Amino acid sequence: MTLKYLDQTGLSLMLSVGATWFKRGSGHQFAIPTRWGSSGRINLIGTYSLHRHEEVLEVRELTGTCTGDQVTAYLDTLAAECRPGQLTVVVLDNAAFHKGALIRERRGVWEQQGLYLRYLPPYAPFLNLIEEVWRRLKGILMPRRCYNSVAELRDALLTGLKILGTRFI
């Protein structure tokens, strides 16, 4: 049996480091505008797979934010890779796009291919093992710093993913 913990994450560009001040008690704080907005973000969907003694991170870059259609397409890819006679269980959290109508419709087809979905209890992200992988990627392999472009952010991301031995699907 193979367990795959599914989740999505986003990485954003950061502004240059700076400091501001405001008069104590004035109630007015200086607002720092963002340089990039939503265009300065890279979103990934991925699974952290456990099979015997092997651990594998599989990811796909998303266009825009995560939707039910993108989760369905990702699960279709995983189901197509299932081997006959091998049980594959995908563990998901309770995000709305993990439980939509399209997911419910496709579930029977995926089970025929050997891919089964199981959900974590509500409000229990600490049980999703991929959360630790995202934390390691963003906090250690990609230390917080100011990226000047999406290309620079993507280069840092790809370096971190390469260190983790990531498989792109």
Residue pLDDT, tens place only, 48-90? 998 778 889 999 999 888 899 999 999 999 999 998 888 899 9
Can you give the pTM of this predicted structure?
A: 0.82
78 within a domain of the structure (yes/no):
yes
Give CA separation, 71 vs 34, 54, 61, 63, 124, in Å. Answer: 29, 24, 12, 12, 20
Distance CA 87, CA 65 (A): 30
pLDDT at res. 133: 94
Domain tally for the chain? 1
Say yes or no to pLDDT of 119 above 90: yes
Domain holding 151: CATH number?
3.30.420.10
22 within a domain of the structure (yes/no):
no
Distance CA 110, CA 114 (A): 6
- The SS3 assignment for 8 reads strand
Distance CA 114, CA 137 (A): 30
Structural domain containing residue 62: 2-12+37-168
Helix and strand numbers, DSSP H then E, in the chain = 4, 6
